[in-house]
A = this chain, B = another copy of it.
């Protein structure tokens, strides 16, 4: 035991060299890790010590970059400028996909993955600022739906503890496929986005409930089943019969659909579409970020969603637009401008508009990534819970 346990105290030396040319360690690095580093132009320098490896590359959403080996067995590469925002990435060492020991890990792509947060010039809506800060509360709840203890996170706004009579509206906010309830708390920076909006008077103080949308009964850990009504139903059951009742019993929240919203990204956008729009008496506002529901991606669960038929999926949506509009305070759709989902999403929104369905639509630069979802939340939260 003694020798083995001493092994754990050996300092990791792979990452202690300093990057040059004004490059600085990424904010997503573990303390003391100099790499990955970003220079002023958002070029990233990745570095890894692997003396016996024959081939190393780094895979980022925007591409794959080969690392070159130096005499001491250190591999490195300087990439072209990276797109702003948070990117999952992975090293491949001789074909084996591994994490970067210099990076913190973030649950996404169905594993705890390395990630790099690339700053966007002039954008600070998700920075830590000198404003009052809310909490993110880690909570256990027992679900009678799954008959198991489950975990969720709840953002409570600044002052929630001090003003013990005030009640607040609630946004239920869902992650994407291969992610979980840590996504909006860590990668999404929900707390900082809301803290900054509330301090500026641009959003109402609200709770944000960040639950785990992966349902064991509906197709395994990635959850959600297919991109259709049946696939999203298990999460709807969990939300309506376990999560909302738990929140309303344990937090000071306002009753009524006008004070409840449901939104999500990608798979979570599909959940928001089906569960939200089928339960408008519960959710007065629905936000659908970057969903593949409208098409633009390969099908999952065997069914390609390319041929989206709004009326078939949500009877009355197109044919009873007036009633739909009157039953909802806000129907919001967003998507990234470089996301393959954008054209089908634009077509769906055009169809909604043509039939008189009131939808607020926004696009943001970026692909199927967190920078678009941070901006979607930032935008959506400002439109929510208006008097």
Task: Say yes or no: A135-B137 contact (C-beta < 8 A), given A1-B61, A4-B60, A30-B112.
Answer: yes
B59 with A111: CB separation less than 8 A: no
Binds B, one of A91-99, A226-234, A307-315: A91-99
B94 with A52: CB separation less than 8 A: yes
CB nearest to A127 among chain B residues = B149
Interface bin, chain A: 35 or more
Q: Which of B96, B142, B178, B369 contacts A93 (CB 8 A)?
A: B96
Binds B, one of A102-110, A118-126, A349-357, A378-386: A102-110
Binding site for B on A (CB under 8 A): 1-2, 4-9, 11-12, 30-33, 48-54, 59-64, 88, 93-99, 101-105, 107-112, 128, 130, 133, 135-142, 149, 161, 164, 177-178, 180, 185, 191, 214, 220-222, 250-251, 297-298, 338-340, 367-369
- A31-B221, A52-B95 are known; give 11 further A-B pairs, CB within 8 A: A4-B60, A4-B63, A5-B367, A31-B214, A93-B98, A98-B98, A98-B99, A105-B105, A138-B191, A161-B161, A164-B164
A110 with B32: CB separation less than 8 A: yes
Q: Which of B99, B112, B138, B142 contacts A185 (CB 8 A)?
A: B138
Task: Say yes or no: A128-B149 contact (C-beta < 8 A), given A32-B221, A135-B139, A137-B135.
Answer: yes
The 7 A-B residue pairs with the shortest CB-CB distance, nearest first, are A31-B221, A32-B221, A105-B105, A105-B112, A98-B98, A136-B138, A164-B164
Q: Which of B4, B112, B130, B220 contacts A112 (CB 8 A)?
A: B112
Residues of B within 8 A of A149 (CB): 128
Q: Which of B9, B60, B108, B164 contacts A297 (CB 8 A)?
A: B9
Q: How far is the CA of A111 from the CA of B369 in the complex (A)?
A: 25
Residues of B within 8 A of A180 (CB): 31
Residues of B within 8 A of A50 (CB): 94-96
